[in-house]
Amino acid sequence: MKSAIAGCGSIAQLHSRVLTDWIDTALVGAADIDARKAKAHAETWHTNAYTSLEDMLRQEKPDVLHICTPHYLHVPMAEYALAQGIHVFMEKPPVISRAQLHSLENAVRNSSARLGLCYQNRYNPSIREARNILASGRAGKILGARGIVTWHRDSAYYTDSTWRGRLATEGGGALINQAVHTLDLLQYLLGQPSAVEASIANHHLKNIIEVEDTMEAYIQFEGNINASFYATTAYCDDVPPLIEIACEHMKIRIEDLELTLFYPDGRQEKPVLEHREALGKSYWGTGHRDCISDFYRALQTGEEFPLNLSAMTPSIRLMLGAYESARTGQVIQCLPET
Query: Looking at the domain that runs over 123-262+307-333, which CATH code has it been given?
Result: 3.30.360.10
Q: Give dist(CA 129, CA 245) in Å, integer.
A: 13
Query: Looking at the domain that runs over 2-118, which CATH code has it been given?
Result: 3.40.50.720
pLDDT at 284: 53
Catalogue the long-range contacts made by 20-25 (C-beta closer than 8 Å, 24 or more residues apart).
Answer: 20/45, 20/46, 22/289, 22/292, 22/293, 23/292, 23/293, 23/296, 24/296, 25/1, 25/63, 25/64, 25/296
Q: pTM score, two decimals?
A: 0.95
8 Å CB contact between 159 and 300? no
Q: Give dist(CA 279, CA 299) in Å, integer.
A: 23
8 Å CB contact between 91 and 291? no
Which residue positions in the chain have pLDDT lower than 50? none
Q: Give the orientation angle of helix 125-136 with respect to helix 180-190, to 10 degrees.
A: 20
Q: Give dist(CA 302, CA 295) in Å, integer.
A: 10
Domain parsing of the chain, residue ranges: 2-118, 123-262+307-333
Query: Would 2-118 and 123-262+307-333 be classified into the same CATH topology?
Result: no
8 Å CB contact between 316 and 91? no
pLDDT at 285: 56
pLDDT at 335: 86
**Which residues neighbour 256 within 8 Å (Cβ) at sequence distance 6 or greater?**
124, 126, 240, 241, 282, 283, 285
